[in-house]
């Protein structure tokens, strides 16, 4: 018999819940209008399919002619994307997560005040791309890095500029931030840090570590495209035996052999019903 414990901070964060609920509400209030989302609203295909069945379509490119409402997802977009959406005829609804908006604003402030801006995050992640695009409007000294190695090409510039400002992708690991900041302190005279990791991410990671201490196996549930979910799995692999699955169909009986205490956590874009199904399947 398994002893299964589910993390309290597992599943939708408030920013994701707000985006999903608002998208559904927009469709119910505008049944005759086309509703589109530019890019996947969240990193979960079950939710994307559910929205599609409701008539809320995901698009990956801006069409030549827009007809109806286009939602900007929780990751945010570059300012020119908002402008282009309006130009082609869309009514734009901005569902950028408020925490992501704060990071964008901090990056803009740093750029305006002549700081060399370092964004700690994954360069190809949509949230980070939007943060950088906002800061790029005010400075040509904006870079993205998650490791010291990725900072190496900019070290001469940083030393000569002497004044560095740091912001962080909301779903990053604190350990990545600390490594970058410690290194920047050896290069720059002034380092101004805004720890913009969202509270939900920080609490989720802290709780998962605690749960891992009393678990023979940790199961992290969520999309492999989700940054906060993959970071959870990375963190927990240093604590105990850990697997990362997208849903219950990926559970393997062999992984449960010899296991008694199982901890389950999930990313911020994982629906509660997917988490529940994993628990039921284990039982």
φ and ψ of 59, to 5 deg: -120, 150
DSSP string across 141-184: -EEEESSHHHHGGGHHHHHHH-EEEEEE-TT--HHHHHHHHHHH
CA 207 to chain centre: 18
CB 127 within 8 A of CB 106: no
Tokens of 59: 């698009």
Contact 164, 113 (CB under 8 A): no
Task: Mention every residue, 6+ apart, whose C-beta is less than 8 A from residue 73.
Answer: 19, 37, 38, 39, 40, 41, 42, 95, 96, 126
User: First and final CA of the chain: distance in angstroms?
Assistant: 8
Give me 222's structure tokens. 């969520």
**Catalytic: 127?**
yes
Specify the length of the chain in residues: 283
Q: Token digits for 280?
A: 């039921």
Which residue of the set 77, 127, 207, 280 is catalytic? 127
Closest to 265 (Cα-Cα) out of 238, 239, 234, 244: 244
- The structure tokens listed for 9 are 């901070």
In the chain, where does DSSP find H-type helix? 14-29, 45-53, 79-87, 98-112, 126-136, 148-151, 155-161, 174-187, 199-213, 227-237, 272-282
**What are the residue numbers of the active site?**
127
């Amino acid at each position: 018999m398994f002893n299964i414990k589910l993390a309290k901070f597992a599943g939708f964060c408030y920013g994701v819940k707000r985006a999903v609920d608002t998208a559904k509400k927009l469709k119910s209030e505008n049944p005759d209008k086309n509703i589109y989302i530019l890019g996947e609203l969240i990193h979960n295909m079950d939710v994307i399919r559910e929205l599609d069945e409701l008539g809320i379509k995901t698009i990956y490119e801006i069409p030549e002619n827009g007809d109806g409402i286009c939602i900007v997802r929780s990751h945010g977009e570059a300012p020119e994307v908002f402008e282009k959406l309006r130009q082609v005829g869309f009514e734009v609804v901005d569902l950028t997560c408020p925490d992501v908006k704060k990071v964008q604003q901090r990056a803009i402030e740093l750029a305006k005040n002549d700081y060399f801006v370092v964004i700690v995050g994954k360069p190809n992640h949509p949230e980070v791309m939007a943060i950088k695009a906002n800061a790029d409007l005010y400075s040509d000294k904006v870079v993205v890095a998650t490791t010291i190695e990725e900072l190496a090409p900019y070290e001469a510039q940083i030393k000569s500029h002497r004044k560095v400002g740091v912001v962080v992708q909301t779903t990053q690991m604190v350990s990545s931030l600390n490594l970058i900041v410690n290194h920047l302190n050896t290069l720059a005279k002034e380092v101004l840090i805004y720890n913009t990791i969202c509270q939900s991410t920080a609490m989720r990671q802290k709780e998962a570590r605690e749960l891992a201490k009393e678990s023979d196996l940790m199961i992290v549930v969520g999309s492999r495209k989700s940054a906060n979910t993959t970071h959870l799995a990375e963190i927990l692999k240093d604590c105990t035996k850990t697997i990362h699955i997208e849903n219950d169909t990926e559970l393997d009986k062999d992984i449960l052999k010899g296991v008694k205490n199982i901890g389950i956590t999930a990313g911020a874009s994982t629906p509660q019903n997917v988490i529940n199904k994993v628990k039921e399947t284990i039982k």
